[in-house]
Chain A
Amino acid sequence: MESERKKRKLLTLAALLISGGLLLLFTFIFDSYQLRIVNLCGIYITLGLSLNLIYGFTGLFSLGHAGFMAVGAYTTALLTMPPQLKEMNFFLEPIVPWLANTEWSFLPALLMGGTLAAVVGFLIGAPVLKLKDDYLAIATLGFAEIIRIVFTNTQNITNGPLGLKGLPPYTTIWWSWGIAFVSILFMVYLFKGSYGRAFIAIREDEVAAETMGINLFRHKILSFTIGSFMAGVGGGLLAHLMGTIDPLMFRFMLTFNILLVVVLGGMGSISGSVIAAIVITVLMEYLRFLDGPMNFGLFKTNGIPGMRMVIFSIMLMFVILFFQRGLMGNRELSWDFLFRKKKTLNDAVEGD
């Protein structure tokens, strides 16, 4: 038993080292375009997990993710931009004085972005988490739009529809994937513990969960706030990868992309979200050739813009047809396939 646990630990460590090595290799052999995709994969893992925590694990159908990302992205960007860059950006109306001279380093700015997103998540969640299913979705969607409209109109804080340009490119592979790994670890340990079980219980049956003594409101808002925090951090990373942000970036389509990661990967599966985040991000880029001119031998097309989305949607339909609960369902990848045998009482007590 002891040796098996040790083996599992070694295998996990090896997997981590191999992925770290791969990332290091990527920084040498990939060009900047490919590196950007690798970065996006890491960010989408964090974002996918954050929505999976809220929707897949706790069962709160929230469509407000783009709003929380916007809060995180703008906060991080405004805190890290050097003063002269701010002056260049805010040419229509000068920036408010208390923001004009702040220049934080990346990590505290990211954490601040996450924290503010969490505060906004808490303030939105407190009144609307009483709602269920579709009603909750509509309410959160509305709030996300409100955030976006507010950002469009607060010219002297967010620079309005002009957006922020020339953000320092802080997001590297180590940042995006480092935070992705932290998010994965956080989720794994959260759902090994009692709070994770309480979240899943709420998803499975609210009435029964409350009868088990679980304070529904407290647990729902916990899950929602943590998810918003992760979304805010993800937004900050995305801002410093893109280099430019404006309110239009945080429309419903962005929430939809993350929802796609959650549903395709499997609601309530951490490994599912990780796999889906990578697959979707890579496919979205590499199916681009479909938009270009194609030669079918018999006839030629001279490029149909949007063709890749058609193919992508068809692929999506196939996945949904054949894997109704997403690629992973609610299962997880583990080393179990190497040590296949009946679990015993001991296992459960010690955990693995």
Chain B
Amino acid sequence: MYILRTDNITMKFGGLVAVSNFNLEIKQNEIVGLIGPNGAGKTTAFNMITGQYTPTQGSIYFKNEDITNYRPYEVTRLGIARTFQNIKLFKQMTVLENVLVGNHLRLMSPLLLSVLRTPRYRREEKHMIEKSMNLLKDLGLDDVIHEKAYSLPYGKQRRLEIARALATNPNILLLDEPAAGMNPQESIELMHFIHDIRDRFDLTIFLIEHTMQVVMGVCERIYVLDHGITIAEGNPEHIQNNPKVIEAYLGVN
């Protein structure tokens, strides 16, 4: 029983095949990595899963539901959340507001009731704020709740993006290069952090990463893409010794 499964998904942009016949199988509570040289099609694979792109061929299944043609917001509602390679926060909003936006999709009251602030809406809003506060406390962002998102240091912005994704109550979290721009010390902290949120929020995690230390340290299984083609798949030791992977990363003479 796989929580997320793709069946030969292919993405073509005109004549360019960005990803071809990608088969992914992720079990509940796994931490799976996706690596590959620049331009290998990793983010494209992410974009297909989260609905930003519709695959040219193939299908995507989440808990056995076919989500191939779903829009991004529908995918998120089902329980797939993601972060972005280049951080995409709501910059002018405060840290708390950023996380509150992540709660909006579960809001039941219609717009007019929110303006009239009926008791039902107030209850929902109160619940939302308490939940967000707890989340921010869990992720160590409670000292900056009323700061504007753009004013946060880089590391905290990354963490806020994860907090915002967690606010949507996901089952699976897709992280696009979470360690980008971090120093070795921060990367080690990030590894612990990823393990930690997996256990605490009962998550499955699928991540793209370039920092080998993080990938090998945290992932239980790894997929390797090169020019859109899956060249290897397996546990970290297996991947490290795979000649094709070494060739893709270091080249051959």
Contacts and interface: CB of A to CB of B under 8 A. Distances in A.
Interface residues of A, number: 31
A204 B146 CA distance: 17
Contact of B104 (A189, A194, A345): A194
A205 B105 contact: no
A208 B104 contact: no
Contact of B73 (A194, A210, A222): A210
B32 interface: no
B88 A208 contact: yes
A349 B130 contact: yes
B139 to A, nearest CB: 15
Interface in A210-237: 210-216, 222
Contacts, number: 112
A78 to B, nearest CB: 28
A216 B90 contact: no
Interface stretch (A82-90, A141-149, A172-180, A195-203): A195-203
Contacts of B36: none
A343 to B, nearest CB: 5
Contact of A204 (B93, B117, B145): B93
Contacts of A211: 50, 72-73, 76, 81-82, 84, 88, 165
B111 A349 contact: no
Interface stretch (B121-129, B192-200, B212-220, B245-253): B121-129
Contacts of A351: 125
Nearest to B77: A213
Contact of A348 (B84, B96, B103, B117): B96
Given A193-B115, A198-B101, A213 B91 contact: no
A186 interface: yes
A218 to B, nearest CB: 9
Given A193-B121, A348-B96, A213 B168 contact: yes
Categorize the interface residue count of chain B.
35 or more
9 contacts: A193-B114, A194-B104, A194-B128, A204-B91, A207-B88, A208-B84, A212-B168, A213-B102, A349-B133
Nearest to A329: B92
A216 B74 CA distance: 11
Contacts of A213: 73, 76-77, 102, 104-105, 168
B49 to A, nearest CB: 12
A24 interface: no
Q: Identify the interface centre among A186, A194, A208, A212: most chain B CB within 10 Å of its CB.
A: A212
